[in-house]
Chains A and B, each alone.
Chain A
Amino acid sequence: MKSISLYMHVHQPYRLRHYTIFDSGVNHDYFDAPWDNNENNKRVLLKVAEKSYLPTNARLLQLLNKYPEFKLSLSMSGVLLEQLEAWSPEALRSFQELVNTGRVELVAETYHHSLAFFYSRSEFETQVAMHKEIIKRIFNQEPKVFRNTELAYNNELAAWAQDAGYSGILAEGWHQMLGWRSPNYVYRPVGAPNIKLLLKNYRLSDDIAFRFGDHNWSEWPLTADKFVHWLSDDQDAEIFNLFMDYETFGEHQWQESGIFEFLDHLPGYWLADSNHGFMTVSQAADTIEAVGEVDTPNTITWADTERDLSAWLGNAMQQQAISALYALEKPLLELNDWAIIDDWRKLQTSDHFYYMCIKWFNDGDIHAYFSPYDSPYEAYLNFMNAFHDLKSRLLDRGVLV
């Protein structure tokens, strides 16, 4: 039996508006860009809902109805769910309908899509708990498998997830970590024997997520038929972990690329062989035996050619910004003012640090595509001005920082 484990990540940050030092200490509306600006979060969300969430969910629901063996997993950040609730109840409902089929599993993560694990364990745990709560409230499901922001993963995180009771954890199947081994099996992390490690097959996943619409790619055009042939021909596999951003469908790969037709046909072609199936991530963790141990002392992620945290924390501006932010943690939490805490957490979202990345010349196009800023320097200054305002609000309340 060979299975596909399709897992898609759904997320939108709260982007900052253009925010200057003259706003710091005066206006606290960092996330409220005017409607006609590209940073307006409602506008972005409605656009993505229209181009991606609604059409993709409609197809996924059809596929779930048509093929009883079809299953998939989703992770949805808390900040995304908030925005859907506020601005696109229609799109939120379409996600609920998917989950109601009983064959869509939700994956645990931090509510704020943050890198808190690397800066504050208690803040990290709070955000995981908040995420669990909103998933329960909106979908009435309890996640069993954990994924960290940007699939940032190491041995320590695996041990934490095991102790927190998760049966599985997701990571990048990076060849430099795996060596000769294949991501198409299930593994155990070093130091965490009771949790299963599910590794993204990045070649196959990126064929869909990144290369699908690339006319210069030798395999273009990629059809579901061809893709299923590749998988069928691979004798050396138990599971194909296809992990990608949900927005691949309709947003990163536009409708004109044929990405929806690919999705429409993939389950049918795959299931034509009775020896083929689909699994959610927890099913894979529960039913597939681990073939070995994987040691990951250094953090790996699913981004860039380095597969490390350098896209978020690689340069001095990023490090300065994030450490300044987490330095506020103690006094800020002690104040117990929800509005301030909420803004602080929204600033923790990894996207803000991603916009400050200066590795433009290698991975540049992808960074530039996702950034609302003209340059990483602008991104840093804008963020720091918002940080200054948080600090100002603490000073207003008599907290010395």
Chain B
Amino acid sequence: MKVLMLGWELPPHNSGGLGVACYQLCEELSKNDVDLEFILPYEAEHNINFMKVTAARTDGILEIIKAGNAYDSYRYIYQDGHDEWHNLYEQAEFYEHAVGDMIKGLSFDVVHAHDWLTFRAALKVKALNRNIPIILHVHSIESDRAGGDLGNPLVREIEETAMLAADSVIAVSDLTKQKIVKEYNIPADKIEVIYNSIDRNSLQPSSPDNSYRYLMQLKQNGYKIVSNVGRITIQKGLTNLIHAAQIVCQKLPKTVFLLVGSGDQFNELVGLSAELGVGANVVFAGFQRGKSWRDSFSIADLFVMPSVSEPFGLTPLEAGFYGVPSLVSKQSGVSEVLSNCLVVDFWDVNEMANKIVGVLRSDALHDTLSSEIENELLSLSWEKPAKDVKRLYEKHTQGAEA
């Protein structure tokens, strides 16, 4: 079984959960005799041996360089020496044309594309060869990323057209499936829910010497730490978390909220926390990887994922791995699979504060949630999702193989 994977990022060059999910799914698929070629929009070292990773590059282009994360502008260096900067939309078009050129010499049984940036490329393949089944994997749709609004109509058009044309759609949660049906009128029987999972072997254990020395000190003095790790953008619902923080700090002044990540709402939230008088209780650590990323979980007494719309949401599972209980919004896919966590509507600031205070005040609640989520994680792996994905491939290729 040969599969052409179209994706936008892979670790360590990822900005969030999409890259992690793609990586771990592909790794598990490769163990199930699936032969993968993964096309990325940029060139970088990945150290991956379970599949072939190539950069989408058409003739005449010497090199494609990411400026920041995979969603910033890209710099194209041409063979004649000149260079051009291209934004995300232009980049998606370049990617489409490059993939169209590249597949001419390749043979494969299925195209599996992850999220809208690669959907045009998937359609391009379909246009060139109508017999190849196209499977679109939806990790988020435009209205998720817009945090409740409809979002960019051009992106919505790509999502709608591609999903209509696709042979199958994979949604990472039932929440996402329902939204696809409702917003794009895609037939429900064409959409299969395959939950993301977590590869516990990919996570390194935390070490006792936490990088946040000051916060550790505060903890020794009776402070509690509430953390969030994720992009600082409207989808993630952090405005409500800061409002909840204000209420929590009135009850429990010795509480610090640690926000780890970067994004377009950064200035707004920094200003808001000062306005609400909790500037000294909200700590912004910026984007972190490696040890300081792990420490951002392990230092916490509670992890909060208040997303306005979160198709899946990996971070509560990661928090659980580090023994930290989670409060997640009901508007998240992960709340469909995780039993041992607290849930709250993203907009219900008072209830959010209530539950945060509840966990911080009660060791019994904290400890039970923490040990139970650790147990629950033991049963989670990519084995089942990968088998489900492979079964879907087989469903569409049976005719071809016969």
Q: Which A residues fall within an 8 A CB radius of B?
A: 20-22, 24-26, 315-317, 319-321, 324, 358, 375, 377, 380-381, 384, 387-389, 391-392, 395-396, 400
Contacts and interface: CB of A to CB of B under 8 A. Distances in A.
Contacts of B292: 22
B267 A377 contact: yes
A22 B212 contact: yes
Contact of A21 (B217, B221, B283): B283
A389 B258 CA distance: 16
A320 B279 contact: yes
Given A21-B284, A22-B292, A380 B214 contact: no
Given A20-B285, A317-B271, 12 more contacts: A21-B212, A21-B283, A22-B285, A25-B212, A316-B271, A317-B270, A320-B277, A320-B279, A381-B284, A388-B214, A392-B213, A395-B218
Interface size for chain B: under 10, 10 to 19, 20 to 34, or 35 or more residues? 20 to 34
Contacts of A392: 213-214, 217
Nearest to B268: A377
B266 interface: yes
A387 B266 CA distance: 20
A375 B218 CA distance: 28
The dominant DSSP class at the A interface is helix
Contact of A324 (B218, B220, B279, B286): B279
A358 B221 CA distance: 35
Contacts of A358: 271
A384 B280 contact: yes
A358 B212 CA distance: 29
A25 B274 contact: no
B73 interface: no
B58 interface: no
30 contacts: A20-B286, A21-B284, A21-B285, A22-B212, A22-B285, A24-B212, A25-B212, A26-B214, A315-B274, A316-B274, A316-B275, A316-B277, A317-B271, A317-B274, A317-B279, A320-B277, A320-B279, A321-B279, A324-B280, A358-B271, A377-B266, A377-B267, A377-B270, A377-B271, A381-B270, A384-B283, A388-B214, A388-B280, A389-B214, A395-B220
B397 interface: no
Contacts of A315: 271, 274
B211 interface: yes
Nearest to B256: A388
Given A316-B274, A375-B267, A380-B270, A21 B279 contact: no
A25 B214 contact: yes
Contacts of B220: 395
Given A20-B286, A21-B285, A22-B285, A395 B217 contact: yes
B275 A21 contact: no
B279 A26 contact: no
A375 B262 CA distance: 15
Contacts of A396: 217
B211 to A, nearest CB: 5
A377 B286 CA distance: 13
B233 to A, nearest CB: 15
Nearest to B282: A384
Interface string B205-225: 000000111111110110000
Contacts of A21: 212, 214-215, 258, 283-285
Q: Which of B258, B283, B286 has the most CB of A within 10 A?
A: B283
A21 B280 CA distance: 12
B168 to A, nearest CB: 45
Nearest to A321: B279
Contact of A320 (B211, B213, B280): B280
Contacts of B267: 375, 377
Interface pairs A-B: 7 shortest CB-CB: A25-B214, A320-B279, A24-B214, A25-B213, A317-B274, A316-B275, A316-B274
A316 B284 CA distance: 17
Contact of B221 (A388, A389, A400): A400
